[in-house]
Structures are given as structure tokens and as C-alpha cells.
Amino acid sequence: MGDFSHSAYRFVEFLAAAGQTIWQVMPLGPTHSDGSPYQCLSTHAGNPLLISLDWLVDKGWLEANIWDHAEDSVAWRLATLERACNTAIDTMDTGTRKDFARFVRGQNFWLEDYSRYVVLKEMHGGSAWSDWPQDLRRNVKKSVDSALVNSSRALQIRKFEQYLFFVQWRQLRNYAHEHGVYLFGDLPIFVSGDSADVWANRQYFTVDDNGQCDVVAGVPPDAFTAEGQRWGNPLYNWGQLKADGFGWWLDRLHTHFSLFDLVRIDHFRGLESYWEIPAESPTAIDGRWVKAPGAELLEQVNKHFSELPLVAEDLGIITSAVDDLRQQFSLPGMKVLQFAFDGDIDNHHLPHNHSADMVAYSGTHDNDTTTSWYHLADEQTRHHVRRYYQCADDEMPWPMIRSAMMSVAQTSIVPMQDVLGLGQGHRMNTPGTTEGNWRWRFDWEQIDDGLAGRLRELAGTYSRLPDTGPAKSYQVENSWPLSERRQA
């Protein structure tokens, strides 16, 4: 199970040795049991499973032999983490206690609701908030306070877990900056219906007091699935969000900009128009496009933040209106090489059709690995690939990696599975499915001695090596960022 422990730091060193300056990650929030990082319990919180237990051993909050007889499971990790939090809360020094208190004050605009939601969820056997007793479903303060009257310690532990996540991520990010590596995060456009965000802020979502929806989110049929994708997320009550100055969105972006140097808006298309599906429909086929006030939202974002380090995930059914919205705010879009080889020489995913305001990918977490994609493709597609790259079957995936780096796109991203040349069975996610996803891990034994050098040579050949020293550091030693909107 991956975490912010020693291997994460070794990975930063590998990236630096390979001449890579960007590490893109999927959302880091706490997930439901299916493990999808795009359906999190909170848009602000971090996943406790990513917290390094070794770091807690070094702090003296866990015994040194925790791994001797451990089965690294979710249940064991969470129980071990809770034990460490209990010890830390009772024994932490004055400096840590003050820093924790600053963190709680600075993040309280989401942390209190999240902690209350998680503890209540545990009290109800992990069930969705829409299945809780009525007053708890409706977040009636008196009833919630009464339900949590004996849970002060549990609430403090959940807050301390988030403190640990943010401290460890900050340290890892600082280490990455010292090695010239920027962190590239991911922001799902919608949030899970069973989340602290919807439970505590239902006025901004298309849910009733009992958590039920008449319409839900998804996408129409596309290259991934003939029935479309019925995500099931509640849609936004854009009228209320607009009336409140889009403050909920500003707070959300504030958190992400404090964690990452660059942020991708997943399904950017939904800021221009979103696919509205009747809740009773079993698939996404019977939906319709509904206009969204994306321009008004991004205007507020532009006014609130001095920089707009965003990338638009503009894949799927993209209209001229979506392109206009992206270009209006000078946001880079995405090109994916696996989508390029339909035989049309004008296909905008082909490298010779790229432009500088793009991020070029060989594939994404929603694609198969490039090697597997190529070998499972029909002969006509493989012929187009071989003709375009003048390559043989057994050269994959390196022709695709090379062309992603060769692209005039300002940024080039290659999934780790492609870097390792992995084939069938190493896919991260199959869109439209809920089983068997989000489980892929790599092993250091898969990285041969020449891999970093090969990547560095390509980065140098195509002018992607950094010109100067390490990336700018955003290190914050003694304070925690507070949302300017909440502070004002």
C-alpha cells in the first residue's frame, strides 16, 4: 500500500535523476470502499491511508517493530494510525501542540464538518448520511451535538489525522521542490453524494433534506462506453452558488492550490454544460445537456487568486463553446495519443496537430497501458500507429513516449505503467465499471538501472530539462493557510 513514507521520497529522487519536473497524482482524498479517488468523502480532506506509519515511528508515537507481524490491510493501517494519534495527543510537545492548534483554526472552515461527518458515519456502521436518523441527516446542530456528546476524543483524532496528512504532504512537497519537481493535482468536478461536503452544504447541491436526488451527473455515450457513464453524483445548485459569490468553489480551490503547484479540473466540460440524468435512469443514455455558469465562476476565481495554475481536462464530447471557455481563461487543454489513430490525419490528438497551450499524454489513468492498448487494437489502428511512427510492434510504448515528449505542447505527461513498459493487466481504471479499479502498484524491482538515464536523454533531446536550479519552494514552516474569504 503506497503512502508518504521513504519510497515516496525515493520516487522524487528517481524523477529528478530522470530529468522529470512534474509529478501528476490522482485526487488524494479519503475514498469509499471502492477506492475511487474521484468519489471522496471530502473535497478538502486527505486520505488517512497515505499517512506514513514509519514517520510516526520516528516521532516515537508508534513502536519500532510495528511491521514485524503486520498484515498491511486497510483495517490494520487505520487501527494502527488511531493508536498513534491517541499516543501523540497525550504526549506531543508544546511546539507540535501549538502547530496542531494553528492547523485546526486555519482549516476549520471544512475540518469541523468533516470530523463530525466521519465520526457519525462510524457510529452508523459506515452507512451513507442519507440513511441516518432524520435530524442527523438534516444536520440539525442540536441533534448532532447530542449524538456526539461523548465523542470529543474521536473528533480530535480525526482532526489530528488530517494534521498528520497535511504535515507529511507539505514535507514531501518541499522535498520535491528541492529536487526541481512540481506537484500536479487533480480536482474532480463533482463530489460524492455521500460526503461531508454535501451533508454540511446541501444548499449548493441538487439534493433534498434526506439526501435524495431527482437528477444526477454523468456523461453521454462516448469512446469508453456505449451506454455513457452514470456517475450518480448530485449536480450543483448553480443559482445558490452564484448568489453566494461561488464561495464554496473558492474555498475548494484554495485548499488545492495550497497542496499543489498545478491542478487539473477533471471533466472541465461540465463547467460549460453538464449532462443531467434522471435519477431513476439505470444508464446515462437518457440525459440532456444543461448550461453551467463556468465563465462567471472562473471570473471570480481569476479575481480571487493572483495566479490560475489550472489545466482543463477537455476530453470527450467537446464543443466550440467549451474550447472558447478554456481559451478565454488561457487554460491548457489535454491531448491523448491513444485517441489519435483513427486514420484521420487531422485528428487533433496527433502530435503534429498539437499546440503549445496543451498537455500531451501517451495515456491517462482512464486508459489501458499503451502497450496493452496497442496489442489489443484492431490491425487497422496498429497499421496507422506503425506508419505514423515508422516503428515495429515490439517497440511499444517508447515511440508514443517519445512523441509525447517531442510534442510542442508545453507539458508532457507519461503514466508510470508506460514508463515501465507494462502490458495487459496493469490498467488503473476502466471507466463505467466499479470493480477491480484503483489497485495498481509498481515495485522498485521493475525499474532497471538505465531507465532514469533513458528518460533524461529524451527530456534533454526535446528541450524538457529544467534550465536552472530547483523549483521554487513554497515551504511554510510555522503557519497554516487560512481561506482568505473565510478570514475576511
Residues noted as catalytic: 266, 313, 366
CA distance 409 to 399: 17
CA distance 204 to 158: 25
60: DSSP letter: T
Q: Which residue(s) pair with 312 in the sheet?
A: 265
Distances (CA, A) of 242 to 197, 200, 267, 300, 310: 17, 18, 20, 10, 21
Q: Is 326:312 a contact under the CB 8 Å cutoff? A: yes
110: DSSP letter: H
CA distance 225 to 310: 28
Q: Which residue(s) pair with 184 in the sheet?
A: 24, 262
Assign 3-state DSSP to the chain and report helix, strand, coil percentages, each to 5.
Answer: 45, 10, 45
CA distance 6 to 10: 6
| E-assigned strand segments in 175-261 | 182-187, 215-219, 229-234
| H and E: helices and strands count for the chain | 18, 11
Q: Which residue(s) pair with 234 in the sheet?
A: 216
